[in-house]
Structure 1
Amino acid sequence: MFIVPKTAGGRPWILGSLVAAGLISAGAGAWFLKAVAPETQAAAVYQIGLPKRPPVEVVEALPQLKERLDHLDATKQFTGAVLVAKGDQVLFRQVYGKANYEQDTPFALDTRFRLASVSKQFTAVAVLKLQDEGKLSVDDPVCKWIEPCPAAWVPLRIHHLLSHTSGIPDLMAQAEWGRIRVTRRTPQELTETSARYGLQFEPGTKVRYNNAAFNLAAEIVAKASGMAFEHYLEQSILRPLGMKDTSPDVNDDAQGLAMGYGLFPAGLTPQPIANVSIVAGAGALYSTLDDMLAWNRGLHQGHVLSQKAYADLIADHAPDDMPERRGPHRAYGYGLYVSALGERTSSPFSDRQIYHTGSWAGFRNLVSYQPDQQVTVVVLSNNYHLRDLVLLINQQAMAEALGRPVPAALAR
């Protein structure tokens, strides 16, 4: 059953269904909402239908994945955490290496990792949730929410921000990025900086991966919700899903985080502590293996968005005339990709997957979901330079969970 916490009119869907079914009276439903504090109403409604979280313990029920990860661990080729689940069953949960090599701190199963760009889907979902609540539309002009708004942004819609089709230049490609990246910035300051650059192309005509657009989307979430972006995420999405170990690290003071590293000729080298303020909507969250499992189950099994909003989330929003920008079978959704990711391996398999990568500040991540068999694979690494290995581990895990031939390498 696809559970939508509230209808567009604001009435909790589950309560309406219970009333319609005669399981409770309309008066009882009203009493239920009145009796629950406003800030916990959403959580109470979500929890009625949320799947129970599994116990956090080591599970190694995928023998081929275990063999390969044990080898990678013994040869010090991989450091990080891996979880695989199918439906309600966790098939694999294990950690390798250390959370902090200088302090000799081992990983725990609930160690927190910076998600980097895996965070973008949370920003997109926040926007769509506000649309479900009737507080904005993805078709709204950006200038409806951002003031003052540069004239160049007049044709820009929220939809363009979420689909990498905005035309806003990415700040990371600008000459002043070296100064921006080490200086704390407010969302308003980031917006003002982006506004100075105008647009590189007409919105909706090209695809260009863009972090600045997601920062702008986070600012719109704050304006539409009437609260700070991170507070809206906490109250309306993370807390109701029980994601207690996930949050935007807006003050750079999160506890229990792994240290991020890069692999250089001198060896594994700790990376500077991230200035998260500059990626507020693009890469600010930290999370754990099991919180990301809760996220995938909640999001993709209908506990967060309406059916229409979810369909928009995973639709292909790339311009029709630009297949070369997305590759075969790859769709650009809102903060998510949809493709046959397994086709990039030496033993290709064509199952559709919904996923996003994340790489920043010494971290390299890939979180994927196969909707037909409800398979979640979470690979979180605190070594930035493991791009190919993280992809391979993720797809080896996905293949074994799906019963496909397990690839030994990526396709070349």
Structure 2
Amino acid sequence: GSMTKQFTAIAIMILQERGDLSLNDPITKYFPDYSVNEEVITIKHLLSHTSGIKNYNGIQEWKEKIRDKISPEEIIDIFKNKQLEFAPGDKWKYCNSGYALLAKIIEKASGQTYKSFITDNIFKTAGMDHTYFGTDDQIIPDLVSGYRKEDGIILKAEYMSMSHPYGSGDILSNVDDLANWMNALENNKLISEKSFGECFQPNILNNNTKINYGYGWFIGDFLGKKNLYHGGGVYGFVSHGMYLPEEKIYVVVLHNCVDPYTDTPTHAVGDLITG
């Protein structure tokens, strides 16, 4: 689900540390034919959901293709010539389109596919041996089925091609691997402490208003402590992870039935641990 956005964001930070890109790069550097009506949209805008680009999940053309295998280029084509919803940096609005563009930027800046770059530079380094990208073609070991609840009855989830949440929701994992992921971040095995901290800074809109989103993480409060969190969901699966940096506590809940309240058990466990 959308916890994938954290991996995409960290991959961007890795490339910035290597000097392969800058968060201030305009997206037209990577997509010269992208129509932005003279507006400047940067990588930073994509990371922070402040670009003004339409979310492709709300576009009818995408909804009609939900069961079909689709390429990253086809996903981007759905929204790239649509009028912006607001000027970049003026507002915050959650947008999967931005993370699809970021995944493609990772490919262009690194010379690798998005999946191979994440695998080589994050999964392998962090020891995430049971984490995969969703696929329509391969059999993934020990993958559980997804379900939905309708009128109190548990049903199989509707089908969606896993080619659709490219860069924004296509990673499959388990709690052990996600613990390894956070441990690798805490110990600066993936990016520097400075870059890691940058992901957790509230972004500032053009009118100087702070928003509760960094790069791939929401920023909030839990029992008076700073809470960095993100939830996610694809058909039949939901997730929620919260990180309390002052306590170095990470709680993640994964559920294979669509339920809007995955943050409730996450908070309950966090409450128990923090006392």
TM-score (norm 1): 0.64
Residue range with higher mean Cα deviation, 168-177 or 248-257 = 248-257
2:10 aligned residue: 125
Answer yes or no: is the 8 Å Cα contact 2:62–2:78 preserved in 1.
Answer: no
1:359 aligned residue: 233
Answer yes or no: is the 8 Å Cα contact 2:48–2:213 preserved in 1.
Answer: yes
TM-aligned CA distance change 1:154 to 1:186, over 3 Å: farther
TM-aligned CA distance change 1:232 to 1:153, over 3 Å: farther
- Which amino acid letter does the alignment assign opposite residue 149 of structure 1? Y
1:401 aligned residue: 273
1:377 aligned residue: 251
- Which sections of structure 2, spanning at least 5 residues, go unmatched? none
Distance 1:361 1:134 in 2: 37
2:26 aligned residue: 141
The residue correspondences of 1:156-305 to structure 2 (distance < 5 A) are 156-253=41-138, 254-265=140-151, 267-305=153-191
Shift of 1:152: 2.9
Answer yes or no: is the 8 Å Cα contact 1:156–1:166 preserved in 2.
Answer: yes
Shift of 1:139: 0.5
- Which amino acid letter does the alignment assign opposite residue 265 of structure 1? D
The CA RMSD over aligned residues, in Å, is 1.8
Distance 1:119 1:252 in 2: 20
- Which amino acid letter does the alignment assign opposite residue 156 of structure 2? P
Answer yes or no: is the 8 Å Cα contact 2:199–2:214 preserved in 1.
Answer: yes
Q: Secondary structure at the match of 1:122?
A: helix
TM-aligned CA distance change 1:382 to 1:171, over 3 Å: same
TM-score (norm 2): 0.94
User: Aligned residue pairs: how many?
Assistant: 274
Shift of 1:393: 0.9
198, 218, 223: which is aligned to 1:312? 198
Residue range with higher mean Cα deviation, 246-255 or 282-291 = 246-255
Q: Secondary structure at the match of 2:241?
A: strand
Distance 1:225 1:198 in 2: 29
Q: Secondary structure at the match of 2:164?
A: helix
TM-aligned CA distance change 1:250 to 1:196, over 3 Å: farther
Distance 2:247 2:182 in 1: 13
Answer yes or no: is the 8 Å Cα contact 2:146–2:237 preserved in 1.
Answer: yes
Distance 1:354 1:176 in 2: 34
Answer yes or no: is the 8 Å Cα contact 1:168–1:213 preserved in 2.
Answer: yes
Distance 2:258 2:205 in 1: 31
Distance 1:136 1:153 in 2: 21
Answer yes or no: is the 8 Å Cα contact 2:136–2:162 preserved in 1.
Answer: yes
